[in-house]
């Protein structure tokens, strides 16, 4: 029951915000303001659920094709961070003085609320239809977050996001239909069903594409660097912290991990793409100037890391359980840390100086260290269990366990760049603490504790952190390496050693890197197709028109002929001739031939 | 001998037919038709159909031809001839088609007639047997007013309605009593040549004789040849003569023409209704009162026919302001 | 009683009259000529009936009666036709009127 | 004598009597009497329909003289159907003419031409008398007389339309009389070899005849003569001017019932008077071919008209075609219980009856618009329906009947025709039915729909004037036809039962 | 039971009576006309609802028959009104949507001319639709089918300008052509196999006939489906549909959602399932060609919709595409597919009518006819835009709308069927649907505000409420798909009957 409340409460509140339009303008404003302030409360049932009833289940056989929601360990952990992030975002958006609130804050809160429902729904869904439902709800309401500012960049980002989402949804729909058709209506049975289906390969590819969009897998990641900077920071926080994880969850739920022989080609491809994402994002990210773009590339890189784990689970069925648990754990950690960073962007702006400056700096550095995986942070825990999970897998001769820590090097570089950029950003006039600061603090605090708690108590499959020196060293050297590389780069930049074309202001490689190419590829393909269809269309139309014209001509000719004939019998004599001929013919025909008079 | 007579008569009929059909002048056409009527009446006498001959003489030759001749006299030239040129194609086509079709049809029909296996009518005996019940002695009158009285009734209806129709094409739609009056002699005479006094006198003298003849034909009808139609035709002829002699018939036309016209049909139908009232079929006469019924019907029918035929004649004159 | 040959002869005459009348009726433009042609056709038909009546001994009264009926009808249609012709030509004399008939 | 038998006689004689009496009366009284008589005639139709419904053939021996000497009136299925249809059309048209006297033609008053014509009443009642006489008659010569009664009164009814109607009337006269005379010639031929004039006796006499040529010649003459009067295609040209020049109250009668009289006689001759003579099918095929041509050509010509009444008249020409398309099918299965022939016959009768009602409605409506607007040029009438929603609905219903779409007798007829054709494997009939339906849709849509639906009515359009109460009543007449067109569509099965009574098989 | 037997007739006659009352009403009696209309609609809905329990749960089949056509031999063919689940399904749709459309039309036409004519034919149109749904045999179906053609003509031509008349003429040409083909098919079939009473699983006589002379059976099937395909706008017989968009918005709504297009599709369902029977049709090999045609229609319609810039034309082509889903479902020869197709009959109706209601509202209040005119409509007309969005999401097949339910069910059906490739058609069509609807939704909500050139977006209540209702239905039907008496459940019942 609590589950239903958890799902329904945000939607109801969003509906109230929408329906407020029925009232007078003043009334609407008041009601919306109230609802916005109240909105963080709606995440409480979901959060409470994770703490109070770890194996909750809610069945609604009348809903859609029969709906089941249930909680499992992965969902539990992810739900908690989702609740925290969304709660934080809602607080950040809502608990502001009216003059500081963003325009249309009601709408932003509303979309966040709907998004939240969709997001936790994807974690909880125990049947494919409700999974698809909640996934779609989340995807499409997120468009409302991205477009919030309605400036040109936001529009472009939204358009691209929507196009990609539609492709993603369609692929997922096809994949899920095939899954359900193969007998995997319930999520619990889905991997087995996929594995035993006639179209396993097809399903896997469809799901990889479909969820890959959300998870930011290269080359489907292009919406991320566009959407994150365009969206309000609170929205970026949930996008990056919670929503992209839904793609990961989709893979874990539906891919036949731990089933079948493993070592499938799709797994290799995925692994390659994941590694490409994990490293390439760093290179592109450091060349950016907007702090949120840098964070977005960091997300791509981190998601590449997590995707590696999924790929490993595909390739190595025996490690599947550990790998996916590790991925979830990593997701939990990354969600909170990255959420804190995104939420921190405006915090730095508003509170980065003055009395709160120290606090802000500490928090931001902490979160950044966590993302990079510094020892004692949740990042180190996540990286540790991941490394354990991928033991023994090698790519092009290099062990994956050796490759993955290098991601942390990249992350360090990226975050240094982030720190550099944000420290030089403009500061607004200081203002007294309000929801923005509060929520950021809360998320920071949660980031320190929750991953540990979740990993130790809720996700036993992930394994525990080994408090050994090796492990600590393992966590430390990439950071140090990263710091060193960063220092070199900074020095090189100061000395203008870098080639002229390599400029770290987002012009060398524009945010969204491949998007231009992909766009032109798609539009070109579309143009060619439609030109072909158009040609065929015009050809058939011409044939039809020709036929119609010929028919019309024939009809007109026969009409004219008939009219001429009619004018013959117009006169009495003409008519008389015809009648006479007819009579004579009839008599001859009937009497002579028919009757036999010879 | 008879063969020669028949052949001659037949050929004469055909020649006159040709003349009346092919002549260029309307007057010749109509006069030929008049002659044709006379010839046909003779043919019918030859075919021992005295009644028909009488009827032909009175109705066909007398009135019908008179109508046509009158029409030809009033407008001797086919007006509008040549105004509507038929196409060149039809000019030779028409006679050719007519010739070919006519020949073919004639040959085929003749061939069929030759092969026909005639059968005598089956009504001969019942007619003989039931004639006494009708109260009349002349079989043709019996057929007309008893056996097939229905035909006769409808036919007198036709004549009445034709009269109604031609009156309707006159001034005031044949409605008012004055209608016949107004289209009568006064307007017409303006266009007609003045009637010679001798003709007028002759007409006046002839009328009583005609009336007498008509009445004789009427009353003879029950026993001998003659009957309502012949009689009506003669009486109508008398009226027309008087009209042509410019005798003033206005009062008759205004007061009596229409009542007389409908009287025949009305009484005929009412007489026919007596049967059903007595439980008999329509148009049955009980032998007891059959003669009386037939007589009344016949007399009124005669009046109706007289009026009808006269009305046809009257209506021939266009009312002024026809446009 | 009239001989069969005579009957046949008159039937032939009537046939010619009917057909001749019909052909002429259908092909001539003059209205009066048409009316006369119609009457010729009518008389032709009646002639056939009378000829058939003459087959019986003492000419068949029923057929004769039918012929008389037919004659009256002929007068009726001729009268109507004549009046219509008069009216139509009256229009033309006044200059104008339709030219289709 | 039963009342039904009495009705048989009364149906023919009552209108005749009334026609005679109306001639003596002033115009307003004529109208009242006309309506009264119309209702009475309808009343007399009821017992005939009733007894035929109960499967009974009513026969009246006039004067008590049996055939062949006397004349029999037979109230069989065919007669009953057409009596009923004629009563319906008659009553409604009579009412229409009584309410809107200007629909009865134009006459020359003392000084000028005046709309309304008192001569309409005796002529129409006389015509009705003739129609009923045709339906009931069981005697060939009597059929001739009745036909002449119908024909001459019909000509006169056209002629009362005023000067423009005289030439069409005269043309009609020539055709009508020529047709009758050809019919009479055929009857004479038959009488020569059968010695009887009674329909049934003729058939039994001809059954014994060996040489088929004479009956064939007779039938050919009869058929050509009557087809001329029905206005089968190449002999149709008289119909268009006559039906369009006739007064508004007359056109529906002419198109609705008068041409059906000749059709009934044709059916009587083909199916009752003659047995199946070898060689007949040649004629049937000829008629069928002309029927096809009529359906197609008539529709195309209707499409080309720019005036409303000629359009409706050409539509009649097209519809006539359907009846003749049925002829080749009539002879099918003649020997084995005649189910196929009967199907085509049922279809033919249903089509004709349906056409009577629908076309009467359409012509009434066309006349109504013409009277109201002073013209029937369609370009001038556009949008005329805007002020007459009831008229639109009614015309639409009538159009359904003409199209042969359900629910209407037109549909029932086409259905039966088509099923008979499928049974006889004459697929071409299906094609004709399909093409005819589409073509009739074309002319109804192109020609009539704009009159009714076009929204832009010019300010000074004659139709835009205020509608008087009487005219509303006139619209009701059209509505009755429309409702009857649809309503009778449900009577198809009943019609089939009726036609069984006294059928030739 | 006896009472139930009369209900189908009563429902048909009710609408006819309403029409008969409305026609002669003078233009000025707006209130009376509206009252009669609404009363009729409400009573009709009530009567249809009355039928649900006996038919669906008790398995009763209320029937009313009158003899109609003589056969020459034996019993006459009857006009039969019979209520089976499929009939009730379609009748329910028309009853609900009639009520809403009536409300909408009253608001839409307020103050225009010729309302009596409009509402008269409107009621007749509904009578015909109900007649179609309750038809118990092919002849009855044909009767009402043709009636529908006729009574929709004046509705399409309602504005009476040259363009409307031309479009209406085109419509009639197509519809009558199709009608004639159906007529010929029905005549032939009736001659060969009797009046072909609809029976779940197919008529026995027809099955027997098909086993003797399969060729004739195939030709008849082609005639019937070809004729019905005209109304259901199967490519290449669809051109009338976009042209007919000149009609007033409520008419378009009715045409696309309930009446004309649906009647054609309903007829195809009847012919495939209840006349031939799906097994017989499969054995005859006629289903696969039809499936291919339907697939082509689905894709082609979407493609054409994408090319349109006018709202109504885009919706029209969308109908071409969407309606063929029903045919797709019915012909893919699987139970789930049949259920999906039949359910889509209703789902498409409520979604499409929502869209048309909204399109009408946009056109009325903002004068928006082109998609680009809709910029910023979300602010000015939020309710309409919201309803439109729901409808559009339904069309795309996004959960939790009704459209998703049909698409999912059809997808499952395709996987069960011998033609899994149909799934590709569904997916491609989804993509295309999204491609032409999402930009509209995007423009609505996020498009640049136009200058103040537009009149302010007033949302008349009479027009808005029906749109919101149908939008609500779209969601409710989607969410409650597994509730008893939901369209999906009933169509599953029907599908079971078809395959039993």
Of D278, D282, D300, the CB nearest to A589: D282
Q: Maximum distance among all alpha carbons in chain C?
A: 58
- Chains E and D touching, counted as 3 or more CB pairs less than 8 Å apart: yes
Q: How far is CA E63 from the centre of its chain?
A: 23
Query: Block means of pLDDT (10 residues each) for chain D, length 505 residues?
Result: 87 92 88 93 92 89 85 91 94 92 83 84 93 93 94 93 89 94 92 88 86 88 93 90 92 93 93 85 90 92 89 93 91 56 88 94 91 83 76 86 87 89 86 90 81 64 66 88 90 86 77
CA B174, CA B185: separation in Å to the nearest integer? 16
Copy the structure tokens of residue B136.
């009349």
For the residues of D418-446, what is the DSSP string, one character each? Answer: HHHHHHHT-HHHHHHHHHHHHHHHHHIII
Residue A102: pLDDT band (50, 70, 90) is: low
Interface contact D123-B122, CB threshold 8 A: no
Please report residues of B whose CB lies closer than 8 A to that of C77: 162
Compute φ and ψ for B212, nearest 5 degrees.
-60, -45
Beta bridge partners of E82: E63
User: D interface toward A at CB cutoff 8 Å?
Assistant: 171, 174, 212-213, 216-217, 219-221, 223-224, 228, 234-238, 277-283, 286, 297, 300-301, 303-304
In B, which residues are within 8 Å of C21 by CB distance? 17, 21
Among the residues of D160-194, which ranges form H helices? 163-194
Asked if the Cβ–Cβ distance from A580 to C25 is below 8 Å, we say no
Residue E52: which of E7, E17, E99, E101 has the closest Cα? E7
Kindly state whether residue E202 falls inside one of the protein's structural domains.
no
| pLDDT tens string E54-67 | 888 888 888 888 88
Domain count for chain C: 1
Of C69, C76, C84, the CB nearest to D166: C84
The domain ranges of chain B are: 8-74, 136-323
H/E stretch holding D59 reads strand D58-61
The ipTM, to two decimals, is 0.87
Residue C61 is part of a domain; what is its CATH number? 1.10.287.3510
Residue D259: predicted pLDDT: 93
pLDDT at A105: 57
Are E399 and A64 within 8 A, CB to CB?
yes
Looking at the complex, report in whole angstroms how far the Cα of residue A549 sits from the nearest Cα belonging to chain D. 18
Three-state secondary structure call for residue A257: coil
Place of tokens 């099937």: E221
- Domain positions in chain A: 1-180, 256-511, 520-594
D225 close to D183: Cβ distance less than 8 angstroms? yes
Angstroms from B141 CA to nearest CA on chain D: 14
Q: In 3-state terms, what secondary structure has residue E197?
A: strand
What beta strand segments (E) does A415-509 contain? none
- Per-chain mean pLDDT for chain E: 87
CB contact under 8 A, D26 and B272: no
Asked if residue B214 lies in contact with residue B57, where contact means CB atoms within 8 angstroms, the answer is no
In a domain, C87, yes or no: yes
Q: Give the mean model confidence (pLDDT) for residues A99-109.
A: 68
**Whole-angstrom distance, CA of residue E209 vs CA of residue E193:** 6
Kindly list the distances between the CA atom of residue D54 and the CA atoms of B89, C64, D81, D499, in Å, as whole numbers in the listed order.
60, 40, 14, 12
- Reported as type and span, the H/E element at residue B126 is helix B124-130
Testing the interface with A: which of C19, C27, C30 to mutate, by most A Cβ within 10 A? C27
Enumerate the residues of chain C whose CB falls inside 8 A of the CB of residue D241: 100
Contacts of A137 in chain E (CB under 8 A): 399
C66 vs D141, D167, D192: nearest CB = D141
Q: In the numeric block, which tokens belong to residue D132?
A: 């009923």
pLDDT classification of C20: cutoffs 50, 70, 90: very high
Chain B residues lying within 8 Å of D60, measured CB to CB: 281-282
User: Among E188, E267, E192, which residue's Cα sits nearest to residue E225?
Assistant: E267
The answer for E 22-51 residues in CB contact with D (under 8 A) is 23-24
| Nearest CB to B64 within list C8, C75, C84 | C75
pLDDT at A190: 86
3-state secondary structure B83-118: CCCCCHHHHHHHHHHHHHHHHHHHHHHHHHHHHCCC
pLDDT at D339: 56
| Rounded CA separation E407/E351 (Å) | 13
Report the distance separating Cα E265 and Cα D457, nearest Å. 38
What residues does each domain of chain D span? 279-457+467-505
Residue C25 contacts A, CB cutoff 8 Å? yes
Q: Averaged over E327-331, what is the pLDDT? A: 91
Rounded to a whole number, what is the distance in angstroms from the first to the last CA of chain E?
25
Q: By C-alpha distance, which of A240, A303, A6, A249 is closest to A126?
A: A249
- Contact (Cβ atoms closer than 8 angstroms) between residue B79 and residue B45: no
Report the length, in residues, of chain D: 505
Give the Cα separation of E363 and E357 in Å (integer): 10
Residue A394 is inside which H or E element, if any? Answer: strand A394-395
**Residues of C with CB below 8 A from A575's CB?**
26
From chain A, the residues in CB contact with E404 under 8 A are 133
In contact, D68 and D201? CB cutoff 8 Å: yes
Instruction: Report chain B residues whose CB lies below 8 A from the CB of C58.
Output: 48
Chain segment D462-487, per-residue pLDDT in tens: 555 667 778 888 888 999 999 999 88
C-alpha radius of gyration, chain D, whole number = 21
Contact flag D184-C69 (C-beta cutoff 8 Å): no
Interchain CB contact of E442 with A (< 8 Å):
yes
Chains in contact with E, counting 3 or more C-beta pairs less than 8 Å apart as contact = A, D
Residue range of the domain that includes C59: 4-93
pLDDT 10s digits, E222-269: 999 999 999 888 888 888 888 888 888 888 888 877 888 889 999 999
pLDDT in tens, B148-178: 889 999 999 999 999 999 888 887 766 554 4
> Under 8 Å CB-to-CB from E2, ≥6 apart: which residues?
none
- The answer to whether A586 contacts chain B (CB < 8 Å) is no
Residue C49 maps to a domain: yes
- Chain B residues with CB inside 8 Å of C60's CB? 121, 124
E194 falls within a domain: no
Cβ(E175)–Cβ(E231) under 8 Å? Answer: yes
Cis peptide before E236 (omega within 30 of 0): yes
- What residues in A contact E386, CB-CB < 8 Å? 18
Q: Would you call D393 an interface residue with chain E, using a CB distance cutoff of 8 Å?
A: yes
Q: Three-state secondary structure along chain C?
A: CCCHHHHHHHHHHHHHHHHHHHHHHHHCCCHHHHHHHHHHHHHHHHHHHHHHHCCCCCCCHHHHHHHHHHHHHHHHHHHHHHHHHHHHHHHHHCCCCCCCC
List chains touching A (3+ CB pairs under 8 A).
Answer: B, C, D, E
Neighbouring CB atoms inside 10 A of A149's CB total 17
Residues of chain C positioned with their CB less than 8 A from the CB of A573 = 26-29
Closest to A68 measured CA to CA, from A128, A12, A10, A118 = A128
pLDDT exceeds 60 at position B181: no
**In angstroms, what separates the C-alpha of C56 from chain B's closest C-alpha?**
7
Q: Residue B102: is its pLDDT beyond 70?
A: yes
Cβ–Cβ of B90/A577 closer than 8 Å? yes
Scored b (16 or more CB within 10 A) or e, A464-491 reads ebeeeeebbebbbebbebbeebbeebee
HSE of D28 in the Cβ direction (CA atoms, 13 Å)? Answer: 0
Task: Report chain B residues whose CB lies below 8 A from the CB of A583.
Answer: 101, 105
* Rounded-to-integer distance, Cα E193 and Cα E210, Å: 9
Q: Pick from D174, D213, D224: which is nearest to A597 by CB?
A: D213
Task: Give pLDDT, residue D131.
Answer: 94
Please name the helix (run of DSSP H) or strand (run of DSSP E) that holds residue E105, with its range, or none: helix E85-108
Q: What pLDDT does B186 receive?
A: 39
Q: Residue B275: what are its φ and ψ, rounded to 5°?
A: -55, -60
Dist CA A297 CA A305 (whole Å): 12
Task: Read off φ and ψ for residue A421, nearest 5 degrees.
Answer: -65, -45
Of C26, C34, C101, the CB nearest to A579: C26
Q: Determine, for residues C100 and A570 on separate chains, whether the beta-carbon distance falls below 8 Å.
A: yes
Residues in chain D whose beta carbon is closer than 8 A to a beta carbon of chain C? 69, 141, 145, 148, 152, 155-156, 159, 163-164, 166-167, 169-171, 173-174, 177-178, 181-182, 184-185, 188, 191-192, 241
Name the residue facing A587 among D212, D217, D236 (closest C-beta). D217
Indicate yes or no: CB of E400 within 8 angstroms of CB of A133: yes
Domain count, chain E: 1
Instruction: Please tell me the predicted confidence (pLDDT) of residue B194.
Output: 60
Average pLDDT over residues A445-473: 77
Summarised one tens digit per residue, pLDDT across range C42-75 is 999 999 998 888 887 777 888 888 998 998 899 8
Backbone angles phi, psi at A398, to 5 degrees: -95, 135
Q: A-chain residues within 8 Å CB-CB of E479?
A: 63-64
Q: Which of A45, A48, A50 is nearest to A78 (CA)?
A: A50
Give backbone dihedrals phi and psi of A466, rounded to 5 degrees, phi first.
-95, 115
- Helices (H), ranges, A352-377: 357-372
Chains touching C, CB cut-off 8 Å, 3+ pairs: A, B, D
Of A570, A587, A593, the CB nearest to D237: A570
CA distance D182 to D146: 15
Helices (H), A39-127: 44-52, 73-94, 105-124
The per-residue pLDDT for A338 is 86
Min mean pLDDT across A293-302, B71-80, E120-129 is at B71-80
**Terminus-to-terminus CA distance in chain B, angstroms?**
58
Q: Cβ of A570 and C101 within 8 Å?
A: no
Q: List CB contacts (< 8 A) between C41 and chain D.
A: 178, 181
Contact call for A573 and C29, based on CB within 8 A? yes
Which residues form the domain of E398? 286-500
- Interchain proximity E407–A64, CB inside 8 Å: no
């Amino acid at each position: 029951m609590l589950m239903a409340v958890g799902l329904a409460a945000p939607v109801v509140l969003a509906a109230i915000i929408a329906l407020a339009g029925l009232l007078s303008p003043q009334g609407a404003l008041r009601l919306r303001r109230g609802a916005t302030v109240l909105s963080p409360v709606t995440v409480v049932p979901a959060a409470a659920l994770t703490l109070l009833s770890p194996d909750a289940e809610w069945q609604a056989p009348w809903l859609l094709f029969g709906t089941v929601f249930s909680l499992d360990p992965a969902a539990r952990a992810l739900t908690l961070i989702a609740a925290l992030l969304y709660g934080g975002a809602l607080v950040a958006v809502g608990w502001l003085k009216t003059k500081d609130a963003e325009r249309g804050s009601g709408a932003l809160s509303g979309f966040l609320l709907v998004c939240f429902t969709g997001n936790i729904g994807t974690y909880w869904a125990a049947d494919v239809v409700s999974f698809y439902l909640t996934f779609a709800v989340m995807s499409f309401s997120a468009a409302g977050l991205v477009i919030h500012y309605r400036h040109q960049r936001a529009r472009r980002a939204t358009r691209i996001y929507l196009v990609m989402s539609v492709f993603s949804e369609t692929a997922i729909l096809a994949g899920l239909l095939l899954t359900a058709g193969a007998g995997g209506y319930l999520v619990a049975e889905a991997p087995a069903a996929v594995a035993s289906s006639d179209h396993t390969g097809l399903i896997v590819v469809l799901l990889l594409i479909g969820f890959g969009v959300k998870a930011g897998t290269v080359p489907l990641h292009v919406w991320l660097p566009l959407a994150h900077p365009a969206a309000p920071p609170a929205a970026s926080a949930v996008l990056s912290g919670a929503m992209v994880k839904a793609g990961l969850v989709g893979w874990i739920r539906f891919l036949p991990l731990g089933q079948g022989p493993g070592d499938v080609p799709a797994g290799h491809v995925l692994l390659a793409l994941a590694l490409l994402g994990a490293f390439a994002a760093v290179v592109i990210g450091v060349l950016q100037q907007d702090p949120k773009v840098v964070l977005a590339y960091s997300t791509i890189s981190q998601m590449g890391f997590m995707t590696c784990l999924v790929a490993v689970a595909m390739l190595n069925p025996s490690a599947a359980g550990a790998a996916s648990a590790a991925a979830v754990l990593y997701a939990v950690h990354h969600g909170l840390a990255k959420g804190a960073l995104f939420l921190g962007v405006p915090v730095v702006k508003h509170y980065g100086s003055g009395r709160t400056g120290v606090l802000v700096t500490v928090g931001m550095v902490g979160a950044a260290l966590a993302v990079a995986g510094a020892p004692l942070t949740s990042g180190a825990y996540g990286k540790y269990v991941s490394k354990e999970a991928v033991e023994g897998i090698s790519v092009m001769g290099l062990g994956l366990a050796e490759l993955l820590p290098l991601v942390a090097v990249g992350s360090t570089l990226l975050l240094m760049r982030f720190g550099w950029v944000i420290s030089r950003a403009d500061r607004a006039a200081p203002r007294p603490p309000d929801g923005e600061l509060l929520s950021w603090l809360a998320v920071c605090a949660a980031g320190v504790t929750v991953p540990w708690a979740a990993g130790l108590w809720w996700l036993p499959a992930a394994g525990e952190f080994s408090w050994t020196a090796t492990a600590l060293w393992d966590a430390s050297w990439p950071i140090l390496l990263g710091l060193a590389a960063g220092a070199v780069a900074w020095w090189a930049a100061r000395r203008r050693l870098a080639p002229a074309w390599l400029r770290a202001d987002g012009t060398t490689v524009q945010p969204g890197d491949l998007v231009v190419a992909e766009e032109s590829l798609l539009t070109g393909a579309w143009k060619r197709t439609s030109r072909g269809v158009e040609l065929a269309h015009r050809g058939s139309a011409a044939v039809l028109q020709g036929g119609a014209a010929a028919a019309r001509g024939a009809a007109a000719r026969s009409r004219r002929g008939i009219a001429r004939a009619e004018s013959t019998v117009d006169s009495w004599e003409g008519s008389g001739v015809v009648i006479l001929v007819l009579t004579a013919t009839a008599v001859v025909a009937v009497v002579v031939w028919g009757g036999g008079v010879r | 001998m008879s063969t020669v007579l028949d052949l001659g008569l037949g050929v004469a009929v055909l020649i006159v037919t040709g003349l009346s059909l092919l002549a260029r002048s309307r007057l010749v056409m109509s006069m030929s038709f008049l002659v044709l009527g006379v010839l046909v009446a003779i043919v019918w006498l030859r075919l021992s159909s005295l009644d028909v001959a009488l009827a032909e003489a009175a109705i066909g030759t007398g009135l019908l031809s008179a109508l046509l001749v009158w029409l030809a006299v009033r407008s001797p030239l086919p007006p509008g001839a040549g105004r509507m040129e038929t196409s060149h194609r039809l000019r030779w086509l028409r006679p050719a088609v007519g010739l070919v079709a006519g020949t073919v049809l004639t040959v085929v029909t003749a061939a069929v007639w030759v092969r026909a296996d005639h059968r005598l009518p089956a009504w001969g005996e019942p007619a003989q047997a039931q004639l006494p019940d009708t109260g009349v002695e002349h079989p043709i009158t019996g057929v007309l007013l008893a056996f097939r009285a229905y035909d006769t009734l409808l036919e007198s209806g036709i004549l009445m309605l034709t009269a109604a129709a031609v009156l309707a094409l006159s001034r005031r739609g044949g409605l008012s009593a004055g209608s016949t009056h107004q289209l009568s002699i006064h307007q017409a005479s303006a266009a007609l040549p003045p009637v010679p006094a001798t003709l007028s006198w002759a007409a006046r003298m002839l009328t009583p004789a005609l009336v007498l003849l008509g009445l004789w034909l009427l009353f003879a009808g029950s026993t001998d040849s003659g009957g309502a139609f012949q009689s009506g035709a003669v009486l109508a002829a008398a009226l027309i003569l008087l009209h042509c002699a410019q005798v003033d018939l206005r009062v008759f036309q205004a007061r009596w023409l229409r009542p007389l016209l409908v009287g025949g049909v009305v009484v005929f139908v009412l007489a026919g209704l007596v049967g059903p009232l007595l439980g008999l079929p329509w148009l049955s006469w009980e032998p007891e009162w059959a003669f009386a019924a037939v007589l009344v019907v016949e007399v009124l029918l005669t009046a109706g026919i007289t009026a009808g035929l006269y009305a046809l004649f009257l209506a021939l004159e266009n009312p002024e302001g026809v446009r | 009683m009239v001989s069969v040959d005579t009957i046949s002869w008159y039937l032939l005459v009537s046939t010619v009259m009917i057909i001749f009348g019909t052909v002429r009726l259908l092909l001539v433009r003059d209205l009066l000529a048409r009316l006369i042609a119609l009457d010729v056709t009518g008389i032709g038909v009646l002639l056939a009936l009378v000829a058939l009546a003459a087959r019986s001994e003492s000419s068949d009264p029923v057929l004769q009666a039918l012929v008389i009926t037919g004659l009256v009808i002929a007068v009726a249609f001729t009268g109507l036709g004549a009046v219509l012709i008069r009216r139509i030509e009256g229009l033309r004399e006044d200059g104008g009127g339709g030219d289709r008939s | 004598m039963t009342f039904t038998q009495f009705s048989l006689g009364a149906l023919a004689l009552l209108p005749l009597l009334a026609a005679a009496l109306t001639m003596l009366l002033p115009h307003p009284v004529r109208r009242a009497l006309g309506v009264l008589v119309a209702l009475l005639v309808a009343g007399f139709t009821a017992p005939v329909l009733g007894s035929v419904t109960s499967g009974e053939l009513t026969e009246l021996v006039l004067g008590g003289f049996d055939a062949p000497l006397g004349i029999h009136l037979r109230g069989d299925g065919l007669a009953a159907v057409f009596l009923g249809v004629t009563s319906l059309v008659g009553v409604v048209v009579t009412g229409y003419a009584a309410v809107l006297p200007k629909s009865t033609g134009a006459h020359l008053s003392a000084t000028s031409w005046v709309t309304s014509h008192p001569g309409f009443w005796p002529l129409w009642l006389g015509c009705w008398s003739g129609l009923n006489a045709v339906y009931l008659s069981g005697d060939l010569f009597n059929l001739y007389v009745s036909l002449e009664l119908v024909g001459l009164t019909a000509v006169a009814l056209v002629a009362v339309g005023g000067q423009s109607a005289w030439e069409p009337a005269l043309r009609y006269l020539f055709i009508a009389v020529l047709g009758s005379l050809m019919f009479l010639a055929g009857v004479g031929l038959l009488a020569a070899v059968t010695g009887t004039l009674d329909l049934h006796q003729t058939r039994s006499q001809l059954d014994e005849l060996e040489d088929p040529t004479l009956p064939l010649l007779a039938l050919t003459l009869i058929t050509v003569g009557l087809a001329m009067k029905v206005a089968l295609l190449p002999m149709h040209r008289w119909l268009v001017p006559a039906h369009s020049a006739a007064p508004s109250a007359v056109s529906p009668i002419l198109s609705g019932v008068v041409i059906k009289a000749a059709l009934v006689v044709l059916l009587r001759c083909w199916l009752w008077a003659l047995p199946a003579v070898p060689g007949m099918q040649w004629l049937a095929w000829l008629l069928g071919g002309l029927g096809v041509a009529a359906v197609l050509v008539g529709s195309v010509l209707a499409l080309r008209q720019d005036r409303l009444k000629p359009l409706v008249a050409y539509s009649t020409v097209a519809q006539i075609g359907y009846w003749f398309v049925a002829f080749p099918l009539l002879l099918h299965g003649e020997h084995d219980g005649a189910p196929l022939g009967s199907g085509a016959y049922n279809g033919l009768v249903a089509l004709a009856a349906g056409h009577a009602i629908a076309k009467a409605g359409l012509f009434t409506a066309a006349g109504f618009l013409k009277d109201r607007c002073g013209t029937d040029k369609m370009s001038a009438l556009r949008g005329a329906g805007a002020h007459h929603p009831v008229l639109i609905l009614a015309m639409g219903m009538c159009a359904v009947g003409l199209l042969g779409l359900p629910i209407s007798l037109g549909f029932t007829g086409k259905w039966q025709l088509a099923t008979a054709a499928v049974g006889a494997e004459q697929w071409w009939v299906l094609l004709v039915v399909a093409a005819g339906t589409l073509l009739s849709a074309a002319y109804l849509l192109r020609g009539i729909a704009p009159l009714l639906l076009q929204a832009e009515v010019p300010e000074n359009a004659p139709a835009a004037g205020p509608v008087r109460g009487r005219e509303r009543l006139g619209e009701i007449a059209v509505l009755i036809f429309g409702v009857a067109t649809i309503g009778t569509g449900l009577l198809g099965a009943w019609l089939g039962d009726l036609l069984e009574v006294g059928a030739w098989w | 039971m006896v009472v139930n037997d009369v209900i189908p007739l009563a429902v048909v006659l009710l609408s006819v009576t309403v029409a008969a009352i409305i026609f002669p009403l003078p233009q000025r009696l707006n209130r009376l006309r509206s009252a009669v209309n609404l009363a009729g609609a409400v009573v009709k809905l009530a009567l249809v609802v009355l039928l649900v329990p006996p038919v669906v749960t008790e398995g009763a089949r209320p029937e009313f028959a009158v003899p109609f056509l003589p056969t020459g031999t034996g019993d006459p063919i009857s006009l039969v009104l019979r209520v089976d689940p499929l009939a009730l399904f379609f009748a329910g749709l028309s009853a609900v949507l009639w009520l809403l459309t009536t409300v909408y039309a009253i608001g839409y036409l307020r103050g225009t001319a010729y309302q009596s004519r409009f509402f008269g034919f409107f009621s007749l149109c509904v009578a015909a639709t109900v007649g179609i749904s309750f038809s118990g045999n092919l002849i009855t179906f044909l009767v009402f089918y043709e009636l529908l053609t006729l009574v929709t003509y004046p509705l399409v031509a309602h504005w009476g300008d040259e363009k409307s008349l031309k479009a209406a003429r085109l419509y009639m040409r197509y519809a009558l052509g199709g009608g004639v083909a159906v007529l010929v098919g029905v005549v032939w079939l009736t001659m060969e196999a009797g009046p072909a009473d609809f029976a779940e699983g197919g008529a026995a006589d027809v099955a027997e006939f098909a086993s003797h002379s399969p060729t004739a059976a195939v030709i008849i099937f082609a005639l019937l489906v070809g004729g019905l395909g005209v109304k259901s706008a199967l490519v290449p017989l669809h051109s009338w549909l976009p042209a007919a968009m000149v009609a007033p918005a409520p008419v378009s709504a009715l045409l696309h959602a309930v009446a004309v297009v649906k009647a054609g599709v309903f007829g195809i369902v009847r012919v495939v399932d209840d006349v031939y029977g799906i097994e017989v049709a499969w054995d005859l090999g006629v289903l696969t060609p039809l499936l291919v045609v339907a697939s082509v229609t689905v894709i082609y319609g979407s493609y054409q919709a994408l090319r349109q810039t006018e709202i109504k034309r885009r919706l029209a082509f969308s109908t071409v595409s969407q309606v063929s889903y029903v045919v797709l479902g019915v012909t893919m020869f699987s139970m789930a597919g049949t259920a999906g197709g039949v359910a889509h009959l209703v789902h498409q109706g409520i979604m499409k009518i929502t869209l048309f209601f909204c399109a009408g509202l946009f056109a009325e209040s903002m004068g928006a006819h082109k998609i680009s005119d809709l910029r910023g409509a979300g602010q000015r007309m939020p309710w309409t835009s919201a309803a439109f969005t729901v409808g559009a999401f339904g069309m795309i097949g996004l959960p939790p709308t009704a459209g998703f339910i049909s698409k999912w069910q059809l997808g499952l059906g395709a996987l069960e069927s011998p033609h899994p490739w149909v799934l590709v058609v569904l997916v491609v069509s989804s993509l295309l649907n999204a491609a032409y609807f999402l930009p509209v939704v995007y423009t609505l909500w996020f498009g640049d505000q136009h200058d103040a050139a537009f009149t302010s977006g007033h949302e008349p209540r009479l027009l808005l409420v029906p749109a919101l209702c149908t939008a609500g239905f779209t969601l409710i039907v989607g969410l409650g798909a597994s509730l008893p008496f939901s369209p999906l459940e009933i169509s599953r019942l029907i599908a079971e009957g078809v395959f039993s």
